[in-house]
Chains A and B, each alone.
Chain A
Amino acid sequence: MEHLYEMLSKVDGYIYSNEIELHWGILIVLYPYITGLVAGAFILASLERVFKVKVLRPTYQLALLTALAFLIVAVMPLVSHLGKPFRFYEIMITPHFSSAMAIFGFVYLWYLMVVLLLEIWFDYRRDMVLWSKEKKGFKSRLYKILTLGVNDLSPKTVAWDDKLGYFITVIGIPSAFLLHGYVGFIFGSVKANPWWSTVLMPVIFLFSAMVSGIALVMFLYMAVSWIRKVKIDMPCLDEVGKYLFYVLVLDFTLESLDQIHRIYEAEESFEILDLLVNGKLNYTLFIFQGLLGTLIPLITLGIFRIYKPKPKIRKAFYLIISLLILMGIFFMRWNVVIGGQLFSKSFLGFTSFKLGLIGSEGFLMTIFWLVLPFLILAFILWLLPPWKKHEEEPAS
């Protein structure tokens, strides 16, 4: 409780007696951040599949597997932040349906089981059958298990794989929208909190999710190519850059609209939010999220739309931009989640937030949760390498 006494001395103005502690810390910043990456990566993958954007082909599987790796992790910080983590299942067996949070478990499972796993399975089934024959020992057995015993390689069955996979992607798009729009709703529906409570919140979450997910795939595509020492497909990268630009424009517009609306309406909470934005959120909002995470990438990508420098330079910029965006969206989540709890609901003062180094809510743990999905992804890529897929019909 030491830290609470320390925070007590840092209170500005008046806050309600119970408001010293920030109830949703860094773990809840991670939760929308990671789910956003999932939704965004998936939507990028769907572009290739459903809208037949063929140039994006090299990123298709990578995007799908990225979505899976991050989705597996998404729920972990959430559960670990609970006061009673071992009661987590209650949310599934006795959900209270008027709560926006209650259906999280179902949305999550739907997305994991029905959408992602199935889509990946249909996409990889034929390859897994072939790999189970090519490989030996443990790996062969693993692939056999993963095929779930469906070993039929007749063109008809393979065509069905494709059809069902397509069908699931079609369901997957609204599901991805649902998943992240829903996360936005968890915040947007809290009427007690004027920083959160806006109808735009789900939409903003959705677009920022797409931005971050696309940036992540962009980064990973470059990183994986570099590790594998293969040439980066520039038309593909440019196409990803193009979509990133469009979505970023939309995201920026929506967030600006939200702010302009707040400023113009200047409701009861305006003064305190004004102080918040220009005080405690100064750096994270204007510098990290706004300037570095949004404007610089937006301008650079915009320039690339009209003028294309040499591939080498473009690559370098894409790399920097994707990282900047990933950071920017992280701080966007930070500004929403942490920012929304820094001011008192009495609108008369502020509490403060300090990120500790250790402990389940500390900095090291945060890094762990952020690195874990990459490790899982490395494993999945080892197991299901997109570059080893059999593109041609197998000569049977």
Chain B
Amino acid sequence: MGSKRINNSRRSFIKKTAALTGTILASSSLKPFNAILFATEQSDESKPWYGIGIDIEKCIGCGNCAKACKEENNVPKEPFYFRNWVEQYTIKNDGEIVVESPNGGIDGFTQSVPDEEIFKTFFVPKMCNHCAKSPCTQVCPVGATFESPEGIALMDENYCIGCRYCIQACPYGCRYIHPDKGTADKCTLCYHRIKKGLKPACFEVCPTGARIFGDLNEKDGVMHNFLKNHNCMVLKPNLNTGSKLYYNGLSAEVR
């Protein structure tokens, strides 16, 4: 336990990735096969390209974000549909991992593990990772799921046929079928708000500032500094989803 975080400077990672991608592209003529390879690349560096930062060390598990999201976005109130939820991780002394998220954390948490058995405990807010190579976009057979120019994974409910393939493909469990509409539904990073220059609802209500979001292209912007000053990790990096949700203080147990 007490996992060693991957101590990778973000910048060198980007450089390495860029170099690697460059080599691959230069040494072969893969470009025409983009449709097959499915590599969504950010096209224009002068435009915003949003990323999200969550500081686990700051999260107190109040559940305000999960609640605000349901209200802002008319997410069905039943405890089966969430665009945003908080998980309480408790690692026991014997190594057992206990995770709880009653009603997504909206009603707050209680600790079911007795104090003396707890090795450590923390909260992990979850939401769509707005993957840059999002599996959900890749698998949608009609293109109802797509990525906005700002790098936000969005859904067109007027187009979705409700096949649920995207739900199977999302490794993070961020999608559901809207019970009344019969179509898939997911976090939009409050696209309607950020377009007006507002923060997404969940970021607005977080009392400790554990959640930040911003333009990854902006030099010295909030995301830039967040990534520079913290050792961040994404969830399930092995799946190469190009997740743009960076966690500071992510413990190895979290999936």
Contacts and interface: CB of A to CB of B under 8 A. Distances in A.
Nearest to A7: B80
Contacts of B191: none
Interface in B141-155: 141-143
Nearest to B89: A14
Interface in A85-144: 85, 87-88, 90-91, 94-102, 104
B27 to A, nearest CB: 23
B179 interface: yes
A182 to B, nearest CB: 13
Contacts of A91: 141-142, 161
A94 B139 CA distance: 14
Interface size class of A (residues with CB under 8 A): 35 or more
A99 to B, nearest CB: 4
B82 interface: yes
A18 B81 CA distance: 6
Interface in A60-104: 82-85, 87-88, 90-91, 94-102, 104
**By DSSP majority rule, is chain B's interface helix, strand, loop, or mixed?**
loop
Contact of A88 (B135, B161, B183, B184): B161
Nearest to B103: A17
Contacts of A191: 135, 169, 171, 239
Contact of B239 (A13, A98, A101, A192): A192
Given A23-B168, A96-B143, A99-B138, A83 B160 contact: yes
B143 A94 contact: yes
A1 interface: yes
Interface stretch (B14-22, B42-50, B94-102): B94-102
A4 interface: yes
A280 interface: no
B78 A347 contact: no
B200 to A, nearest CB: 18
Given A82-B163, A99-B165, A346-B173, A17 B141 contact: no
B132 interface: no
Interface of B: 35-36, 38, 78-82, 85, 87, 97-101, 104, 126, 135, 137-143, 159-165, 167-177, 179, 181-184, 238-239, 255
Kindly list the 8 A-B residue pairs having the minimum CB-CB distance in the complex, ordered from nearest.
A83-B162, A16-B173, A83-B182, A192-B171, A96-B143, A14-B99, A101-B141, A102-B141
Given A17-B173, A190-B139, A341-B168, 20 more contacts: A1-B78, A1-B80, A4-B78, A16-B172, A18-B167, A19-B173, A83-B164, A84-B161, A87-B142, A87-B159, A87-B160, A96-B140, A97-B35, A99-B140, A101-B139, A101-B141, A101-B163, A192-B168, A268-B238, A346-B255
23 contacts: A14-B87, A14-B98, A14-B99, A14-B101, A18-B174, A18-B175, A19-B173, A21-B80, A83-B164, A90-B159, A95-B142, A96-B142, A97-B36, A98-B137, A99-B139, A102-B142, A190-B139, A190-B169, A191-B169, A193-B168, A268-B238, A345-B171, A348-B255
